[in-house]
Structure 1
Amino acid sequence: MDIVTHALIGSVAAAGALESHPAFAVGLVAGNVVPDLDAFSRVAGKQAFLRFHQTYTHSVGAMGLVAGSALVLMVVGQPVWAELAFGLVTGMLMHVGLDLTNSYGVRCLWPFSSKRFALDWIFFIDAVILAYTLLAGVLIALFMSNEVGRAGGSIAYVVGLVCIVLVRAWLAKRARAKVCSSGLPAESISIIPTTWSPRKFLVCRDQGDRAWLSTLDGISGIETEDQSVSILDVGLSGKVTQSREWTTMRQLSSFFHAVKQEEASDGREVECRDLRIRNFNTRFGTLTVRLDEFDEVVSKKWEV
């Protein structure tokens, strides 16, 4: 999820505890935001951002450290700080749980594992969850004037959010079952949810030298907007496939391929992109490499 949605979710969930347990409420909001502070790794460059984002601050290691600190603070007689820490770890659990439903993967088991996990249930920016959260926040603010009402509203909001996630999991499972019935290996198929409609999914079938892109209705099973894309990885210059940008993107997505090549008198230009993520016609991760007639790199443009 994007950091704005995380912050709104934390705020609505914490509204009911603000008067009775203010430290916990503050921690809950902070915990829904703090993991994404790893985005500041962007100051060290694009590769550092992709390497560190959704890793250490999204891990059981980080959450275990905060939870341990809360227990210590409780033992030494610092209840307010302990309550803040418990709110922080609860918010972090909410944050990481929602990020797991997205697509690029969370290294949530660090330090026990460096593997990224992604469920592909919900896109990073989701209109349904955002609208539901904003509506719940407005209702709690306007119509729940007492502490008990706000607490009930926040609890109802969290329960509803869990229900939305479970429904999206069911829709994603249904969509995958439909696409995988074609007989292609599961690892050659990608199914990514869309932003505006919970029932719509972006499908990519990777068949070696060609990929087939389509939009799937997860309820009816109907696919539309079929598009064929040539994969030009074979024969691609090692100056491209051994570059840091290419290897970083391939670690994030096996569907990252060279898809366009334009010849010129003094060389050629190669465009590589992740065929899975097509929401908003994004070019995130797209790598454009200009090569001279000797296959030496003249320039690179990496859109991260």
Structure 2
Amino acid sequence: MAGIVCSIERFREKLGYLTTFGLFLLGIYTHIFLDLITSYGTLVFFPFTDKRYSLDLVFIIDFYFTALMLIPLVIIKFKREWTKVIALSSVAGIIIYLGIAYTWRTIAIESAKAEAQKLGITGKRVEAIPLPFSPFRWSVYIEDDKRFYQVDVDALKSISPFNSFEKKHLPEGLNQGPEGNNIIEKVEKLEIVKTYLWFARFPVVTVKEEGEGYMVEYFDLRFNSLPPRRPFLLKLILDKSGSLNHAELMFHTIK
């Protein structure tokens, strides 16, 4: 953006203020759009609402999509007489790529639904997010009242077995009484946990007895696509009364 600003400043008198303003708006809304098409999403209507919106069409770093934007810029550097044709070709390529991604995302969801029906799995929510390196590979999530089901679908090859994850996983002793749920209720009043749950889309929580207290882990299954890594794992250490001793957000956790 700094380079764009400097370049525009040099030619501001030639471009005029309205053109300059339009280019800035284009840059801002292009940035928002590029965030919107990823599985991370963005706050489209902030500050009016902090709800995150996502189209789930491309992985956070998509090499093919990036190439469709960067390679034309490199070519234009050496072939300025082709600028218009190359620019239009780049835009057309991006639109086609996103269309392919949307189509195969829909196919992946329908394939997962059909397979889930065979297994007797029904869900109140079904979503798919892109996997890296291909617009044909998707991770599909099916949610019911107590579990998330995750299945990876390669639209050109096969569908993987379903993985099942309890939304709340408690040790057997705690699971028999109210103590485990009381621990979860306590930690979910903490600001760090509220923020994590606001960001997470498929959160699961695990409570473990540890020493004289408990360890509580929150993990967003959205990042369960590259095992054994578990990035964005929130770990909380509590004493026996449920008071917080330590909290840590871990980015490169290995199972």
TM-score by length of 2: 0.76
Give the aligned partner of residue 174 of structure 2.
none
Counterpart of 2:84 (choices 151, 162, 165) is 151
Correspondence for 1:276: 222
Partner secondary structure for residue 116 of structure 1: coil
Asked if 1:228 is matched to 2:213, the reply is no
Match of 1:263 in 2: 209
Q: What is the aligned partner in structure 1 of residue 131 from structure 2? A: 194
1:253 Cα deviation from its structure 2 partner: 3.1
Greater strand percent: which structure? 2
The aligned counterpart of 1:59 is none
Q: Deviations along 1:194-249, whole A, 9 cap, x unmatched?
A: 121111111233344443332111345x3215433333267251221211122222
Structure in which a larger fraction of residues adopt helix:
1
* Contact persistence 2:123–2:143 (CA under 8 A): no
Partner letter of residue 293 of structure 1?
K
**Deviation sequence 1:84-133 (CA, Å, 0-9, x none):** 21111112222222222122332323466554321111121112112333
Instruction: Say if 2:120 is the partner of 1:174.
Output: no
Partner SS state of residue 235, structure 1: helix
Is the partner of 1:174 in helix, strand or coil?
Answer: helix
Larger RCO, structures 1/2 (Cα 8 Å, 6+ apart): 1
Distance 1:278 1:254 in 2: 12
Runs of 5+ unmatched residues, structure 2: 170-179
Higher mean displacement: 80-89 or 222-231: 222-231
Provide the C-alpha distance between the structure 1 equivalents of 2:124 and 2:37, rounded to a whole number of angstroms: 18
Alignment-derived partner of residue 123 in structure 2: 185
State the number of aligned residues.
231
3-state DSSP of counterpart to 2:163: strand
CA contact (8 A) 1:24 1:85 kept: no
Q: Which 5+ residue runs of structure 1 have no aligned equivalent?
A: 1-6, 15-21, 28-76
Paired letter, 2:210: A
Partner in structure 2 of residue 98 of structure 1: 34
Mark the CA change 1:90 to 1:200 in structure 2 (over 3 Å): closer, same or farther. same
Cα distance in 1 between the residues matched to 2:98 and 2:11: 24
Distance in 1 (CA, whole Å) between partners of 2:48 and 2:187 is 33
1:285 corresponds in structure 2 to 232
Maintained 8 Å contact 1:267/1:293: yes
The one-letter code matched in structure 2 to 1:160 is G
Q: Pick closer, same or farther for the CA change 1:154–1:25 going to 2, 3 Å.
A: farther
Counterparts of residues 112-127 of structure 1 (less than 5 Å): 114-127=50-63
Confirm or deny that 1:23 pairs with 2:37: no
Looking at structure 1, the residues matched to 123 and 208 of structure 2 have their Cα atoms a distance apart, in angstroms, of 31
- Tell me, in whole angstroms, the C-alpha distance in 2 between the residues paired with 1:178 and 1:266: 47
Compared with structure 1, are the counterparts of its residues 290 and 112 closer, same or farther at alpha carbon in structure 2 (3 Å cutoff)?
closer
- Select which of 248, 252, 263 maps to 2:199: 252
Measured against aligned partners, the alpha-carbon deviations of 1:166-188 in whole angstroms (never above 9, x if no partner) come to: 2111111222222234453352x
1:11-54 Cα deviation digits (max 9, x unpaired): 9xx9xxxxxxx639999xxxxxxxxxxxxxxxxxxxxxxxxxxx
92-101 vs 229-238, which deviates more?
229-238
